Amino acid sequence: MCGIIGVAGADDATSAVLLEGLSNLEYRGYDSAGIAVGGDEVEVEKKEGELSALKRALAGRTLDGAVGIGHTRWSTHGPPSDENAHPHTDESGRVAVVHNGIIENYRALRDELEAKGVSFSSETDTEVVPHLIAEALDAGADPESAFRRAVERLEGSYALAAVVAGTDAIFAARHDSPLVLGIGDGAHYLASDIPAFLERTRDVVYLDEGEFAVLTPGDWRVEDELGEPVEKEVETVEWTAEQTGKSGYDHFMLKEIHEQPKALRQCLRGRVDELEGRITVEELDGLDAPEEVHFLACGTSYHAARYGALLLQEAGVHATAFLSSEYATSLPPIARDTLVVGITQSGETADTLSALRKARGRGVETVALTNVVGSTVARECDHVMYIRAGPEIGVAATKTFSSQLVGLNLFVEQLLADEPRNRDVRELVSALRDLPGQVQEVLDESRADEVVEEFMGAKSFFFIGRGVHYPVALEGALKFKEITYEHAEGFAAGELKHGPLALVTEETPVFALVTGDGENARKTIGNVKEVEARGAPVVVVTDGESDAERYADSVLEIPATHERTVPILANVQLQLVAYYMARRLGRAIDKPRNLAKSVTVE
């Protein structure tokens, strides 16, 4: 959610490096920004609003020092304001802290500090931390020990970084919120996400739960909670800073929609044998077919989880998709032979990590399906399968959702490879081989921009589908509401008549997913007729195998293909529908209001 950047020993002015890092983290979602530069004194500047407001406040000023930290805040405690923006300081201004996460016991700590005469200047939970550090300094502790003492008192989730006047070091710690170090040539960095410093180094060190780090201009080290040194592997990130740019597209979202053919090829590479008609996911070798599977996910990933559960159910496996937030707080019965699969693009989604940890506490085997190498979920689960979509900067997930659906097809076939109930997969392999090219065909020929023009001013938008199209209808509605800010809902097509039909009017466009010519298609056409009879305009996304277009006001065409891959093509059309409507409405497509890319609070 919030973004953190830190630098020790910058070649350029420290404030310039921090602003560059914050610019690279704008995609995460935020409502204020600030920096603190340390040296003999700590200088702080922070502003409500976009990063441009902070840059204006710094115009004509260069803050330079040996170390510095910066932050983009996504509000949890207290509304967006200059006072609530990070970094936060103690009363004397000698300590500055940035923080991602939530300090759950902040109220008790604040009451204790206020009883001692400490004055607070913000409504945030974070501000207790610099005051606790200052209290330890006043008691005679050195800066590193003071930082550790403060952290020991915290309950909740945190990625913390602090600078102290007179000390050329950044002190950092993580618990349930990601931090990564960037190891440069003479300069070292820390951040909540790699793009913050990717232009300066691709060598990284991932902090694990409970670890502390100290960065100085010439050195870095990591220690455990007891202060013992931890040997960390320096890894090299495969992608480059250029891959996180817009490459000439107006928005990251549009770029990433158009990157889907490449992303799907990357997901499939080395896993699909067309000659043998086999699917092999080497990282899942030795994973036995379970009697039951629980999928855990949030948001877009939850829609992928529902799709994965349907695939397993069709193969005779008892599979259920759970919202991670509900699973974590209302843990269902879990048999020892249950396989629990966490799906999270970032690998840092707090609700999903919490749910997986509770499942692991029951002794079950876990699998992570994620996009980010070295993420927390990848390190904590027993097995990990990467979807290989490449960096996704736009807040609204696009190419990662398509890659999750493809990845789930591979996962299911690997899981059931030795099961007699598993049918021949040659047709699926052929469809997967053709899929990237078919996605490109949809991108090249889509009429989504023309279609949305017909519905400017509509009051609400419905998306309907059956079977494997139902999760895509849910995702289509979510994508639409995320970036257009217009009301949209996804429904199982057969459920319209059980209540939602009361909302259908001439101002309620209905997007219906109708492919093939089987029972699901015929019944969905029946549902199309229901809304047509109420005067609702209808858009069908179809492969032309049925006569659905006869009942539609507009048609978005997709190629005919396997029943398991055709929803991926339908999804691309719905992504374009959302994008073009949001663009016509003038929305902030890459940074939708109130949302963040990586949701690291529960």
Contact 80, 73 (CB under 8 A): yes
Question: How many C-beta neighbours within 10 Å does residue 572 have?
Answer: 29
β partners of residue 278: 273
Kind of pairing between the strands at 338-344 and 365-370: parallel
Determine whether 353 is exposed, middle or buried from the number of CB atoms within 10 Å of its CB (0-12, 13-18, 19+): buried
What beta strand segments (E) does 156-255 contain? 156-164, 170-175, 180-183, 188-191, 203-206, 212-216, 219-223, 235-236
Phi-psi region of 457 (alpha: psi -120 to 50; beta: other; left: phi over 0): left
The rounded distance, in Å, linking the Cα atoms of 454 and 556 is 13
Going by C-alpha positions, the residue among 389, 425, 390, 391 that lies closest to residue 409 is: 425
Is 597 tagged catalytic? yes
For residue 87, is the peptide bond before it cis, meaning its omega torsion is within 30 degrees of 0?
Answer: yes
- Which one is catalytic: 2, 267, 298, 381? 2
Both tokens assigned to 188: 């070292």
For 222, phi then psi, to 5°, come to -125, 135
Give Cα 90 to chain centroid, integer Å: 33
DSSP per-residue letters across 167-193: ---EEEEEESS--EEEE-SS-EEEESS
- Which one is catalytic: 46, 232, 255, 597? 597
Helix count (H) and strand count (E) of the chain? 17, 26
Is 381 tagged catalytic? no
Tell me the catalytic residues: 2, 597
